[in-house]
């Protein structure tokens, strides 16, 4: 290791992250909570067991169930849990949503966030021998005019406007020895440790073919969901361990307030609206002790020095088996926290979707889709 280069790199990091406009202030480091109104996460049904791998996001339409998996596939799952690959996007799809206004009786339109490509429009035909059509519709951040580096999650309003997150401005490298699998988790950890709020929310209007910045300055912009009336978005700010509420009404467009904070037992990932205005938030892992300790170091220069040094080391944050999601009221208050402390039945939950009295759990680590009663 070139220690001189490392020394000057750390000095540069201190200078930049101490003064950059998107730097996280020490006072903004997250506050975690013990599980509020805890309930054991048990009796998890293993839907599509061994037929999916790392099903991070699940898309439920009126007639079909799709899962986005680590091998770059969009898989359709039937009632028996059997799967078939209906499309391969040529990368890692992290989030997606169904577009009812653009779909027909013979086609299903999905919008998918592929991590390094950007926003994809996927046309799935239900006619025999008709291949899917994949169109790249948004690949530049209009704020910087640079490529989207970490397309993450997607939601679609009742008016057909597509909203999606660009989690970070850190590029996501391929995993060693892989031609398509990328180090999404390792990159996100680096983003959290460096302490820069480089994530943003973008919108894509399929009728005007235009992309727009909704909100910038988010500390890893992750899961996103639009309120049924189309007035606001909820977005998980992962390393702030909180949920933000962002207006999409024209006269208050982009105005932001905190929806829920200090009530989660770990970092937040995906979220969705459930029945009766409830909000389900995935918590893939408990708060790492090292990060909690780091957040308590107050002199900003020392905090930045330690974070910069940690970035030069092998990963210090170890993954532990754990499964959790939190259900909030429409006011952001905790209704219950379902938790599997050992990750024996559900592990590393990344998405939560409620439909017809059931809750479907996505994960980066399992070979099944978890299903529990709502």
Residue 113 has pLDDT above 70, yes or no: yes
Q: Give the mean pLDDT of 249-263.
A: 97
Residue 17 has pLDDT above 60, yes or no: no
Residue 27 has pLDDT above 90, yes or no: no
pLDDT of residue 10: 41
- Among 102-116, 152-166, 189-203, 328-342, whose mean pLDDT is lowest? 189-203
Residue percentage of the chain with pLDDT more than 90: 74
CA dihedral sign, ordered 281, 351, 363, 81: positive
Summarised one tens digit per residue, pLDDT across range 29-59 is 888 999 999 999 999 999 999 999 999 999 9
Residue 80 binned pLDDT confidence (cut-offs 50, 70, 90): very high
pLDDT of residue 310: 57
Closest listed residue to residue 314, CA positions, set 285, 290, 342? 290
Higher-confidence position of 21 and 324: 324
* Nearest-angstrom CA–CA distance, 111 and 228: 18
Closest listed residue to residue 76, CA positions, set 61, 92, 89? 61
**Is the separation of the CB atoms in 68 and 56 below 8 Å?**
yes
> Could you tell me which residues come within 8 angstroms of residue 120 by beta carbon, excluding any fewer than 6 positions away?
89, 93, 111, 112, 113, 114, 134, 135, 136, 137
Q: Give the mean pLDDT of 203-229.
A: 96
Summarised one tens digit per residue, pLDDT across range 223-233 is 999 999 999 99
**Candidate CATH numbers 3.40.50.1700, 2.120.10.30, 3.30.70.270, 3.30.1330.50; the one for domain 3-373:** 2.120.10.30
pLDDT, mean over the chain = 89
Residue 122 has pLDDT above 50, yes or no: yes
* Nearest-angstrom CA–CA distance, 170 and 150: 7
Residues in the chain: 374
Give every strand in the sheet of 358-363, ordered side by side: 45-47, 369-373, 358-363, 349-355
pLDDT of residue 13: 46
pLDDT of residue 2: 46
- Angle in degrees, CA 13, 18, 21, rounded to 5: 110
pLDDT of residue 231: 97
pLDDT of residue 11: 43
pLDDT of residue 315: 53
Q: How many C-beta atoms lie closer than 10 Å to residue 53's C-beta?
A: 17
Residue 177 has pLDDT above 90, yes or no: no
Question: 68 - beta bridge partners?
Answer: 57, 74
Q: Give the mean pLDDT of 80-106.
A: 96
- Among 134-143, 187-196, 213-222, 313-322, whose mean pLDDT is lowest? 313-322
Summarised one tens digit per residue, pLDDT across range 266-286 is 999 999 999 999 999 999 998
Q: Give the mean pLDDT of 186-193.
A: 86
For 48-194, list the strands marked E by DSSP.
Answer: 57-60, 65-68, 73-77, 83-88, 93-98, 107-114, 118-125, 133-138, 140-141, 146-147, 151-156, 162-166
- Among 87-96, 207-216, 316-325, whose mean pLDDT is lowest? 316-325
pLDDT of residue 7: 41
The tokens describing 224, both together, are 């996103």
pLDDT of residue 90: 85
pLDDT of residue 325: 98
Residue 299 binned pLDDT confidence (cut-offs 50, 70, 90): low
């Amino acid at each position: 290791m070139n220690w001189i280069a490392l020394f000057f790199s750390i000095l540069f990091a201190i200078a930049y992250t101490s003064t950059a406009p998107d730097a996280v202030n020490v006072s903004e480091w997250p506050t975690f909570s013990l599980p509020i109104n805890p309930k054991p996460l048990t009796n998890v049904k293993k839907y599509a067991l061994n037929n999916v791998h790392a099903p991070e996001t699940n898309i439920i339409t009126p007639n079909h169930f799709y899962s986005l998996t680590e091998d770059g596939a969009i898989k359709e799952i039937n009632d028996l849990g059997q799967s078939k690959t209906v499309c391969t996007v040529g990368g890692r799809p992290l989030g997606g949503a169904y577009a009812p206004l653009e779909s027909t009786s013979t086609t299903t339109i999905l919008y998918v966030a592929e991590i390094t490509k950007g926003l994809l429009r996927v046309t799935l035909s239900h006619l025999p021998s008709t291949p899917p059509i994949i169109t790249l519709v948004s690949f530049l951040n209009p704020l910087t005019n640079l490529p989207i580096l970490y397309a993450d999650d997607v939601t679609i309003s009742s008016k057909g406007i597509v909203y999606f997150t660009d989690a970070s401005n850190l590029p996501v490298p391929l995993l060693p020895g892989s031609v398509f699998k990328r180090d999404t988790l390792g990159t996100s950890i680096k983003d959290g440790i460096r302490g820069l709020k480089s994530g943003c929310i973008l919108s894509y209007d399929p009728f005007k073919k235009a992309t727009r910045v909704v909100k910038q300055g988010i500390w890893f912009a992750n899961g996103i969901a639009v309120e049924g009336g189309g007035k606001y978005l909820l977005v998980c700010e992962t390393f702030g361990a909180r949920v933000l509420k962002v207006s999409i009404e024209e006269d208050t467009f982009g105005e932001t307030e905190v929806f829920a904070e200090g009530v989660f037992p770990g970092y937040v990932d995906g979220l969705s609206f459930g029945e009766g205005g409830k909000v389900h938030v995935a918590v893939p892992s408990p708060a790492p002790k090292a990060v909690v300790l780091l957040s308590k170091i107050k002199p900003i220069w020392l905090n930045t020095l330690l974070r910069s040094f940690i970035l030069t080391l092998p990963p210090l944050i170890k993954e532990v088996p754990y499964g959790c999601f939190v259900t909030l009221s429409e006011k952001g208050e905790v209704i219950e926290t379902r938790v599997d402390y050992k990750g024996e039945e559900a592990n590393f939950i990344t998405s939560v979707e409620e439909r017809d009295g059931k809750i479907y759990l996505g994960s980066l680590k399992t070979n099944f889709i978890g299903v529990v009663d709502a």
